Amino acid sequence: MADKCHQRVGAVLLIDDPKDIPQDLIAHGADVVYVVRDPKFAHYSTELYTNAFAELITEYRPNAILIGATNDGRDLGPRVAARERTGLCADCTILDVEEDGLVEWTRPAAGGNIMATILCKEDRPQMGTCRPKTFKAPEADPSHKGEVVEYTLKHQIEDRVEVLRRDPVVTEGEMAIDDAPFVCSGGRGMKAKENFALLQDLAHVLGGAVGGSRAAVDEGFIEHPRQVGQSGKTVTPKIYFACGISGSVQHKAGMSKSDTIVCINKDPDAPMFEISRYGIVGDALKVLPLLTQKIKEFKES
């Protein structure tokens, strides 16, 4: 995007560490890193982060800003956009740039049935959020040269919110789907919650995690934290198994960037086959035990 606009790639780092040097950001493509150091940045704060971002925008006037659509990013993005009196396109899945420098922000719309491309023609900066893992991170290039700008805020504010306690989230049991190398997902075609044990067996053999479509969550087959799709998680595993999942636009938005997609479905016309490298037309309840057994035998041989 920056090359098309003939501009530099900038990164903002709000950090409490007084010594950390952000060379990893430069190695991954940043031409300039704006570093603001303050002990208050040890944990995310809506007011403190918004204040710092707004001051950096005033000082350096960027053409466009892209923020990760994490829980914190979804809070920060709208606040910064409102402060700057500009628009914000949320949860983008495709980004491009027109010849005149306008960013084309593309995201699912109308319940995920269409893809809308949005332009911010008048106000600056152009702003959008993008889900983590929507785009693959570039390989680190240690030879890439960049500039580090140590910035001191001119306008300090006090956070009006006092955090009394922080309790770490302890996860037990199954592997999370976010970073799993293999994701075995089921849809309404799995027919019952008990049948998700077949997906768990396959995931266990592969060393992966179990996911599901929104339909599977709505049916009570699997919990929402394991939902893949527009209203769930975005995953990019080495192999994604779509079992009994028809392949709605909403679901594809959360897994289409997987390295390899394997579809198992009784319907030969299921849209999921269109983006799959491998497809099996058949009942997932019958195919999964056979597939799991073959993989076991292969690993043991």
Rounded average pLDDT over 1-14: 84
168 preceded by a cis bond (ω within 30 of 0): no
Taking residue 165's Cβ as centre, other Cβ atoms within 10 Å add up to 4
Cite the annotated binding site by residue number.
188, 213-214, 227-231, 244-251, 265
Residue 173's pLDDT is 58
Q: Are residues 7 and 76 in the same domain?
A: yes
Mean pLDDT in residue range 81-105: 87
Gap between the Cα atoms of 243 and 188, Å rounded: 9
For the annotated binding site for FAD, the residues are: 188, 213-214, 227-231, 244-251, 265
Query: How confident is residue 116, by pLDDT bands cut at 50, 70 and 90?
Result: confident
| CA–CA gap between residue 84 and residue 45 (Å, rounded) | 18
Question: Does residue 144 share a domain with residue 8?
Answer: yes
The one-letter amino acid code at 223 reads E
| Sheet containing 278-281: order of strands | 209-212, 182-186, 239-243, 260-265, 278-281
Arithmetic mean of pLDDT, 107-135: 82
Q: Is 277 left (phi over 0), alpha (psi -120 to 50) or beta?
A: alpha
The closest of 32, 25, 75 to 50, measured between CA atoms, is: 75
Residues 6-32, mean pLDDT to the nearest whole number: 86
Question: What is the span of the domain harbouring residue 266?
Answer: 182-300
How does pLDDT run across 123-177, given as a tens digit for each residue?
A: 889 999 998 877 777 888 888 899 999 999 998 888 888 888 887 765 555 678 8
Give the residue, 270 or 93, on which the prediction is more confident.
270
Give the bridge partners for 106, in sequence order.
94, 117
The total number of structural domains that make up the chain: 2
CA distance from start to end of the chain: 48
Three-state secondary structure of 36-96: EECHHHHCCCHHHHHHHHHHHHHHHCCCEEEEECCHHHHHHHHHHHHHHCCCCEEEECEEE
Instruction: Find the CATH number of the domain harbouring 138.
Output: 3.40.50.620
pLDDT at residue 159, rounded to an integer = 81
Say whether pLDDT at 118 is over 60.
yes
Residue 163 maps to a domain: no
Q: Average pLDDT in the 3-27 region?
A: 84
Q: Is residue 171 part of a domain?
A: no
pLDDT at 165: 84
Residues 204 and 266 in one domain: yes
The amino acid occupying position 81 is A
**Lowest-confidence range among 67-81, 153-167, 192-206?**
153-167
pTM: 0.70
